[in-house]
């Protein structure tokens, strides 16, 4: 009697392996999405902290105690230097996308503000500022962040940027620890 050798996989073996892979993928996918959301939120918080640091440096060294009106203004180096207040990956436009978040900055112009060392004219800088990070895809992320001249980062499940005061606490949201 001869014993036949089996070469390759049987269809049943292949279906079993595909089933196991499907089960593992269904378990891993929600965790992968949660990790992606967490990484995006960490990037947004880091960006807002960088903006706050750049604004403070600008106000103390270049703006005569006043804040830059936009992200682009923080991307302009002072006269005699080649290093801007904020890195170019945050100063490419009025609204910058990073880590799945839309980052924006605003400071209301103060008419009596002096000129700045990086070329802003009289009255272009502000007494305070606000910056926000709203998710670019609201279906995949539900955390919104904002910061103002007080230096505290606030979080909420709705956009904070629109109603964020330049100084003081917003009407909604809570401070991140």
Question: Span 127-141, mean pLDDT?
Answer: 90
Query: Which of these, 76, 73, 71, lies nearest to 90 by C-alpha position?
Result: 71
> Residue 28's pLDDT is what?
86
Q: Is the pLDDT of residue 156 over 90?
A: yes
Quote the CA–CA distance of 23 and 114 in Å, as a whole number.
Answer: 64
CB burial class (10 A; 0-12, 13-18, 19+) of residue 125?
Answer: buried
Q: What is the edge-to-edge ordering of all strands in the sheet holding 130-135?
A: 95-98, 101-106, 130-135, 144-148, 153-156, 174-175
Quote the CA–CA distance of 35 and 38 in Å, as a whole number.
Answer: 5
Question: Span 98-114, mean pLDDT?
Answer: 95
**Six token digits for residue 21:** 């892979």
Average confidence score pLDDT of the chain: 91
Q: Is the pLDDT of residue 141 over 90?
A: no
């Amino acid at each position: 009697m001869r014993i036949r050798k089996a070469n390759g996989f049987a269809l049943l073996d292949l279906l079993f392996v595909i089933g196991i892979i499907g089960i593992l993928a269904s378990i891993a996918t929600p965790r992968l999405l949660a990790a992606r959301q967490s990484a995006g939120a960490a990037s947004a918080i880091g960006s807002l902290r960088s903006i706050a640091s750049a604004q403070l440096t600008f106000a103390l060294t270049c703006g005569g105690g006043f804040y830059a009106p936009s992200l682009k203004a923080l991307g302009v180096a002072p006269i005699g230097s080649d290093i801007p207040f904020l890195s170019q990956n945050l100063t490419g436009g009025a609204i910058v996308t990073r880590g799945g978040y839309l980052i924006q900055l605003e400071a209301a112009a103060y008419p009596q503000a002096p000129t700045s060392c990086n070329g802003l004219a009289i009255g272009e800088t502000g007494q305070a500022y606000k910056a926000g990070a709203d998710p670019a895809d609201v279906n995949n992320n539900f955390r919104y962040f904002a910061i103002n001249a007080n230096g505290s980062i606030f979080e909420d499940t709705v956009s904070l940027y629109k109603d964020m005061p330049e100084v003081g606490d917003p009407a909604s949201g809570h401070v991140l620890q």
